[in-house]
Amino acid sequence: MLASSSTVLWYTMRATGIVSLVLLSATMVLGILTAGRAKSRSWPAFAQADLHKRVSLLAMVFLAFHVLTAVIDTYVSVGWMSAIVPFASPYRPLWTGLGTVAVDLMLAVAVSSALRQRISARTWRGIHWLAYGSWPVAMAHSLGIGTDASKLWMDGIAALCTSAVFGALAWRIVGHRRARERAAQVGAITRAVPVRGDARTPPALGRRPDRTGSAPSPSAATRPQHQRSATRLLEKDRP
């Protein structure tokens, strides 16, 4: 009976660990796409943000089951303290400790998201950046200590998760650079727009000069619009 129970816990621990890794990778991809304001007609931004939140919660649920089964399994001695304090486990302390670090980082992100209305935006954003560190640590833990790490199908899952995350990061970096280039171009156009009353600006054809001898600038009324366009491009690229 005890052996059967231990076997169930062992398989449950393996399964929940793999599912947690896949869900964490999906959370990373959705988070990067949401920060980059990715959207389409069939996939609005609010639906993407809602899916990101739901996948994150689901990842935390599977992670909790993974930690619980790892602690209560009698085949190896992990201990409750090792689930919170990194590198405190007597069983393969390096790889187990990396898993604990990933758990702590994900918990920090989850708590900050729950308290988002009570903390400043800068504090929330700074803590949320920890998610970028939890994913590679969790991947290293899975490949270093996982029983299935040497299996071909597990290598395929790890490769797909890595490709998805790095692909999203590459899209984010390219989009960030393009947005900065567009903002620089709009800023250059804005600075090139002549100011009304500038003596160096010749009178425009077909316009009556004012008392100072200079014609009203046809772009003077649109200058604030160019400035707002540059501001929107910069704000759009913020994480």
3-class DSSP state of 164: helix
Measured CA to CA, the distance from residue 176 to residue 236 in angstroms comes to 9
Q: Give the per-residue pLDDT at 4.
A: 56
Q: Tens of pLDDT along 192-227? A: 666 555 445 555 544 555 555 554 454 444 445 545
Measured CA to CA, the distance from residue 129 to residue 110 in angstroms comes to 12
Q: What is the pTM of this model?
A: 0.71
Instruction: Name the DSSP class of 194.
Output: P
User: For residues 92 and 65, which has the higher predicted lDDT (pLDDT)?
Assistant: 65
Measured CA to CA, the distance from residue 33 to residue 170 in angstroms comes to 11
Average pLDDT over residues 165-176: 88
The pair of three-digit structure tokens given for residue 188, joined into one six-digit string: 């250059």
Q: Tens of pLDDT along 118-128? A: 888 888 888 88
N- to C-terminal Cα distance for the chain? 52
Interaxial angle between packed helices 223-236 and 152-192, expressed in degrees from 0 to 180 and rounded to the nearest 10: 160
Q: Would you say 69 and 13 are in contact if contact means Cβ atoms under 8 Å apart?
A: yes
Instruction: Name the DSSP class of 153.
Output: H
Q: Give the per-residue pLDDT at 199.
A: 47
The set of residues, in sequence order, having a beta carbon less than 8 Å from that of 90 and lying 6+ positions away, is 77, 79
